[in-house]
Structure formats: C-alpha cells, structure tokens
A and B are shown apart, each in its own frame.
Chain A
Amino acid sequence: MSHTTPPLTAKDFASNQEVKWCPGCGDYSILKQVQTVFPAFGVAKENIVFVSGIGCAARFTYYMDTYGMHTIHGRAATIAAGIKTINPNLSVWMVSGDGDALSIGGNHFIHLFRKNFDIKYLMFNNQIYGLTKGQYSPTSEQGKVAKSTPYGSVELPFNPPEVALGAKATFVARSLDRDPKHLQAMLTRANAHKGTAFVEIYQNCPVFNDGTFFAYSEKETKQEAALILEHGAPLLFGNDRSKGIRLDGTMPQIVDLNEGTYSQTDLWIHDESDKTKANLLARFPDFDLPLPRPFGVFYAELRPTYEDLLNEQANELIAKKGKPMLNKILAGEKTWTVL
C-alpha cells in the first residue's frame, strides 16, 4: 500500500453511523474483530474499500470508516471486481450474507474465485434470511422450518467451503463470531493472502435462528463439536484433545487416542496446500460419522491474481508494440484523403 499513517486504532475504523443490528447479533462481534485487527495491517484508511451486497451483514460497510459501497443484492462481487481491476493498490473487502452470496449472488460467487482477484471475502453465514424476516436460506439444513417453509424445507443446503473450493478459490477458511481470537487470526490470514480469500464466518442470528452454531462456540460442547485446524498439526479434538482423525483411504475415521491403538503420528496432518484433503474437510458434514466441524484455513494456494495477469499482459504488449497515439487510433488502418 502507498503509505502508512501514524498507527491507527480500532476506533479510527469506526464510522460516525449508529450501528443498527439487533441486540445480540453476531455481526457486532465480527465488526469489533475487524476493527481490532485492521490497525495492524498497516494500510491507510483511504486505501481500504468495503463492498457489500444486501442483507443484515451488508450494512457492515456503513460502519467502517473507510471507503465503502453498499451495493445491490448479490452483486457485491461484480462491483468489487471492477474496483480492483481499475485500482489494484486498494485493499478490497467484501461482506455478504449466505443468501446474498450463495443464492441471488451465486453466479458471481463462483466466478470471483475462478478469476482470483486479490479480494477478501467475508461471508457471514447465519443459515437464515434475517432482513426479510426469517425465510430459509441456501445454507439452511434440510427440513428447516421457517416462514416460507412451515412444513420444513425439502432442499439440500450448499456447503460454502465446498462450493468455494469447487470454484477454484485460492484461500478457504472458516471461523465464527463467538471466538474472537480465532476470528482475528483468520482475518489476519485472509489479509495476508494474495488472491481471493474466502472466510465463512458462522454468525448467530438471535432473532430468527438463535443458537444454530452454539455447539461450536460454547464451553460445554465445543471441544467435541469443533475441530481447530492448524497447518502441520494432527487433527485433534475432544475433551483433553483425546480424539483424533485419521484417514482410512479416502474415508475419515475418528479414533480415540486413549485406547492405545493409534497415536498422534497415525493421524491426518493438516496441510493447507492439499486440495484433496481440503475438499474432504469441507465435506465433513456429509459423512455419516460424528465428525467435528472444522474451523481454520482449509486451503491456501498462491496463484497469480486476475489484475496482475491483466496488467502484465498490457505491459508486455506495450513493451512489444508501444502505445499508439490517439490520432493513429482515430485513423485506423486504411484511410484516404478527399481534396
């Protein structure tokens, strides 16, 4: 980024607008973690742009004292792509909810990853439509009883990391609103990634879908239900980290380390660069096993960004052909003169 100003604080990133989410909304925590980690990134406020779609999550933009665009439903990715293409020096952050990103914005969601702009994509997943007051969303579980599905949804949900990986995302992570430290770490990792960095953030909607993710955040259950991924470390979870996950071929298997059959060296060692395993991790909910839900960086890959490739191509052409004068362009190839 162009220059660093005197050290900023979290407060410097708060806009003068009153935050208007419902009391107890998980968005408050996410906003706080973002404002907390941003000073450490050393990017001047004027070089940061937040781009959001429509929905509760999308109001995020108004609360950050940076440049920002609150856009139209599902289209934040398209607008962010235009911004980044014209000014690659900007730090561009997207905020979308699950409906915004995966339903109305589904087409843009996949193409953004394929093209790999250097954009940070925070997807707040509360598995419900909040702003329209409680319809099931594309991430709601099958059978979800909601306003528009009084007898339960018959649809299978999307699994966001699986979709992102399938769309060739170069960075896929998951965190949650109620684990500030972990969320801060994931935001920091996303910021450091050069390419489209997708962070799914489990976010509690206290009004329409309260407690959906509490199993992964509350003290009583999280040890058993959540799996914290660390690059190079074995997949361990459970009380006293006594359980592990090993791979039996391509099938994950839960093992009890206290039984003595397996030790830590037998376990699946997390490797962020292994896409096959990242896909397996993303698909944990699909297995007919009490697998814990993974949190952390599933996958990270360094691949040239769209804007860099575009500019390199232009620069190579300029080096080879030079820049034509406007008069040459106006005249074109074949001209004649009338006297």
Chain B
Amino acid sequence: MSDLPVSASKPIIEKESIVIRFSGDSGDGMQLTGNQFADTAAFLGSDLSTFPEFPAEIRAPAGTPAGVSGFQLHFGSKQIYTPGDKYDVLVAMNAAAFKVDIAKLKTGGIIIANTGGFDKKNLQLAGYTDNVSPLDTHAVDNYSVYKIDISRHTKDCLEQSGLGTKEIERSKNMFVLGLLFWMFDEPMDYTIGFINEKFGKKPDIALANINTLKAGWNYGDNTEIFANRYKVSSAHLPPGNYRNITGNQATAIGLIAAAHQANLPLFLGSYPITPASDVLHELSKYKTSNVKTFQAEDEIASIGAAIGASYAGALAATTTSGPGMSLKAEAMGYAVMLELPLLIIDIQRGGPSTGLPTKTEQSDLLQAMYGRHGEAPLPVLAAATPSDCFETVYAAAKIAIEHTTPVICLTDGYIANGSEPWRYPQEEDLQPISVNFATQPNTDSGAFLPYKRDDRYVRPWAIPGTPGLTHRIGGLEKAHETGNVSYDANNHELMTQLRAKKINAIADAIPLASIETGKATGKLLVLGWGSTFGAIKTTVTELIAEGHEVSQLHLRHINPFPKNLHRLLTAFDKIIIPEMNCGQLVKLIRAEFLLPAISYTKVQGLPFTTAELKKFCLEQIKLF
C-alpha cells in the first residue's frame, strides 16, 4: 500500500452497517463498480449481501429510466441477511438513476450525484421536462447532496492518456469507486489487482483505470466538500476461510464438487437464458476438471443431451429459467419414466411467458411439483441464499445419484446474482456420494432386470459398455422389473405407485427440519423456502428482540417434506408463509397437513423488504 494515498485528515465515523446503491445507465459499469466494492468489503471482513438489479435490455435507451442499472450492497460488522430495504448512500450517475432510485434513500442519506449526467439532455431523457435538475429543488431537502461533475473529472484525469472519448467515458465508474473507497476507508489494492489482471494485455487502459480510481480517492481526500468519512468494522463471522460468492457461482461449484465426490464426469446441457447463463459460463471454465458443458441448440436439446449423458454414466444437469422449464417439461417426464439421475436447476424469474427476465420471483414451485403430464413426481429442493446454492445443489446431486431420479433444484434471480461471504468447505467436509453402477445380472437366471428395485425402490443404473447388461429403456410404460413395454392396466397402476413411493422414501435419507430462529414452540411461525430466507431471518430476529414470540423455519426440501415437518408446524398457533408468488408453498402445506397456514405474498419482481414483512407479522400478532 506504500504508493497509495493515505488519508488521515478527516474524522472517521464508525457505522454498524451501511447500504450503498450504485445507480447509473446500463453502460456506466455499475455492476462492476458494485462488485468491486463488495469484494473489497468482504475481503476486509465485513459480512454483506448484494442485490444487482438491471434491465433486460443490454443497452436500453441511454439516459432513460428504462436503462437504469443498479447494484445495492449492504455491508456491516453484524451478520447481514438482506441487501437492505433502504440505502444510506445513493450514487446517481445521471438524472434517470436519481429518478428511479431516490425513493428508497433513507431520510438524511447521502446522495453522490454526477452532475455531468444531469445536463439538459439527461434531464429531458429522464422525464424532467422543465429542465430543472432535481438536485436544485426541494426534492433533496432531506438529504446530504454531493454534486460532483464526475464525467469532467474523469476527462481531466485522462486527457493525456491517449484514450478515445468512449474509453474515457467508460472509466468514470472508477472515479466513483475511488471516491467511495475513500469515503468508507476501504483500500484500493484489491481493485488495482483486478484492473491489472483484467487489462493485462492493454496496459494503457489498465493505467487509465487505476489513475481514475486514485483520482476519485484523492478528490475525497483533498476537496473540502466531504466533512467526514465512515468506517464499518469487521464482522464477527464464525472462524474459517471465506470467499465472496454469487448464487450462480455456488451452483456451478456445487455441481463440480458433487461430480468429484461421486467420481463421475460432470455434464451440463444448457441453453443461454437470463438469469441462468452464468452457471453455464462458470462451468465452461472447468474443462480441466472432467466437466463437459454443452450449449445446445435449444432448451429441449439441453435436457435431452443431459439425459443421454446420464444414461452414459455422467452426473448430468441442465440449468434454465421459467420459459426453459416449460420447454423441458416433456423431457422431465421422460426422465421420471427412465429413473435416471438428473439435475434440473431452475433459476426462477418473473413470469409467466417471457415475463420479467431480470427480476426475481418464486412462482415456479408448483410447476416444479406438478408441471408434467401424468403422475410424475420428483424431488424438489430450494436454495435460501447465494452460498446455500452450493449446499442445495450438492444435496440434490446426492439424491439424484443415490436414488436414481431426476431432481429439481430451485434458486432465483435474487440469490443467483446476489453475493455474500461464504465459509467454503474443504473436500473432506463434503458428504460422500455413492455411485452403484450395475455390473452383474441381478437374477439367479443370469438375466438383467433394469427395473428390479431395491428396498428404497431404487432401480439399477446400468451404463452402456457394461457386458451382459444390454437392455432397452424408453418412455412407454414399463413392465415391473423387466422394464419391457407394457400396456397392462394393473401394471401401470403398480408402476405409478412405485415411482411415487420411491420419491417419498427419500424422506428417510434427508435431514429432519429444524427451527432456524427462535423457540421450537410458540405463537407464530414464519415458514419460508428459497430466497426469502434473509428477509425472514432479519424480521424474526428483530421481532424476538422486541419481545415477540416468533420463530422461523426454512425449508430446503419441498418434495418430499422432511419427516418431522408436521410435528414442528403443529407446535405453533399460527403459521405465516411469505412467498414471492401468489401463494404456492401455502397450498402444499394446507393440502398435505390440513393446516390453516396464512399466505403473505409479493409479486413485484423484487424481494421482500424487512419492513413490509415485519408489518405483516405484527398485524398477525395483534390478532391473537
């Protein structure tokens, strides 16, 4: 750090946690800026949660509200479970960003505005038709506003760099990042390392970015406009080794780890789709680890190839989102009939149809449960946080392989793109996954019966290349044990029941559910699944601290449910189920247990805020 500026001139105010919203045009590099800040904060020991939010269009009309791309970061010295309801700091790179995001800035919060993005043209594009900058109106009365012409400062800084106007324009996010690093007393070296690595072959661009970064820092340090700096101390996280990880990265690594522990090649069949593509991108980097990624011609081909790969003896997966799930439905039913291991990972987004590609939702649960023709049950798991995607995918792979079944794994856009520090495991911490390829005929007569089941109703996985076990499988109904085509009425009913029993028997192999927060009995239980975990955890923790009798239970396994779930649920007077859909888990709980669970829903393409969830819980508590 010796060559980096050190500031000691301005007082530093200690904060327990801070929420920053980086907001700008889609081309302004807000995602990169936010990620760099998050990585640096994580590296220095803060706990954090991030929430990237961007439009579906790659470059929506520049300067308009439709083109605003935001990155929200909540970091703190306490444990952080959500990206925060409202922010302390809003970085607005243009008028449109200001317009879109000002509503969620806390009263008394800080606005860092790039005045270069509030000129006449930008005001018009943002819809401020009177050409009056909102920064000069009462709209900002309750905030501390720092007006900085970031565009011009970047230009000045890079005048001699030899870079073109476009490249200079693109560097202004580094000025912001430098300024924010100064403001929150975070070092620049992580980002400098990143820049040098990213632009290794273009040293002039690397240098320009580093100079702009430092200029931003120096601007904070040298000018008189900032009176204070802020500091967030390290969080008291459990001891261990940490990395920062997004949900999609964790999903990818979970697959690699499971294949490694099962000693199988990993096959991913996928077709690009938001917000799932990053899993394909991530896995395609691991070709040296017996990972084969297959970008198929369409969604159907991607699951078809995965089914073929599974038949040939791989741990096979397909990753997708809503529209792709719909297209894969027939092949999923086929995989149910074949009873082969397969992971179908649905990174949910707003639906129906193309819906809200870049926004989050939990509305595919009932599709995951029932979205196939015929009686076609399969296990369903859901991940709760970015890092939990690793655990969930790993657990799903273990079930798929050990019970020779397709498994659906649900995550969503919120945790797929969001990140958090992860205390990553070591190889030896991972549960074993046992693969039992059939190698011998399974009858005294020497015949091989591909649908002869064990006591868990699991059929053998016999892969081509194994002598003596040649057999045919297919989508037509199978005769019990022989697997031959059968249209026999009683056999169909038997096989339907056996397929269901096999899935239900997985309940014997999965962990029991447990209360996540609070006591095991009480008045109110908040039952959740998937990415609502953070909002529920924060809400319930706060309610308990305020003296309320509230607990949290969060489900990873939705089909089959953990065996003790009914017992846990009946220990509470009232159950609330918050979901980012119109009430899907609540239907399953009511149907399975005949319990009058209360549904609380939100379908705005956005995660729950702690405030709204808490308000609903308090209303329910008042009714006791």
Contacts and interface: CB of A to CB of B under 8 A. Distances in A.
Interface stretch (A73-81, A204-212, A278-286): A73-81
Given A318-B288, A334-B243, A338-B239, A62 B485 contact: yes
B177 to A, nearest CB: 17
B470 A108 contact: no
How big is the B interface, by class?
35 or more
Contacts of B265: 86
A324 B307 contact: no
A106 to B, nearest CB: 10
A320 to B, nearest CB: 9
B311 interface: yes
B309 A329 contact: no
B397 to A, nearest CB: 14
Contact of B312 (A54, A66, A86, A339): A86
Given A107-B298, A331-B241, A336-B43, A79 B311 contact: yes
B158 interface: no
A313 B584 CA distance: 45
A332 B465 CA distance: 36
A201 interface: no
Given A45-B470, A82-B312, A111-B297, A327 B426 contact: yes
A107 B301 contact: yes
Interface string B453-474: 0000000000111111111111
> By DSSP majority rule, is chain B's interface helix, strand, loop, or mixed?
mixed
A321 B243 CA distance: 23
A82 B463 CA distance: 13
A329 to B, nearest CB: 6
A69 to B, nearest CB: 6
Contact of B269 (A70, A77, A82): A82
A314 B474 contact: no
Contacts of B474: 61-62, 68-71
B464 A47 contact: yes
B464 A83 contact: yes
Contacts of A68: 471-474
Contacts of A78: 296, 300-305, 308
A51 B312 CA distance: 12
A103 interface: no
Given A326-B257, A329-B286, A335-B243, A90 B308 contact: no
Contacts of A50: 472
B481 to A, nearest CB: 14
Contacts of A65: 470
Interface string B231-254: 000100111111111000100010
16 contacts: A17-B484, A46-B468, A48-B464, A62-B472, A75-B301, A75-B304, A78-B303, A81-B294, A81-B301, A82-B308, A84-B308, A329-B253, A332-B253, A334-B43, A337-B240, A337-B241
Given A82-B311, A321-B288, 19 more contacts: A46-B467, A46-B469, A67-B471, A68-B473, A71-B304, A78-B308, A79-B304, A81-B308, A82-B312, A86-B309, A86-B313, A90-B312, A111-B296, A326-B257, A332-B243, A332-B245, A332-B249, A332-B424, A334-B43
Interface of B: 39, 42-45, 190, 234, 237-245, 249, 253, 256-257, 260, 265, 267, 269, 286-289, 292, 294, 296-298, 300-314, 316, 330-331, 334, 338, 423-427, 463-476, 484-485
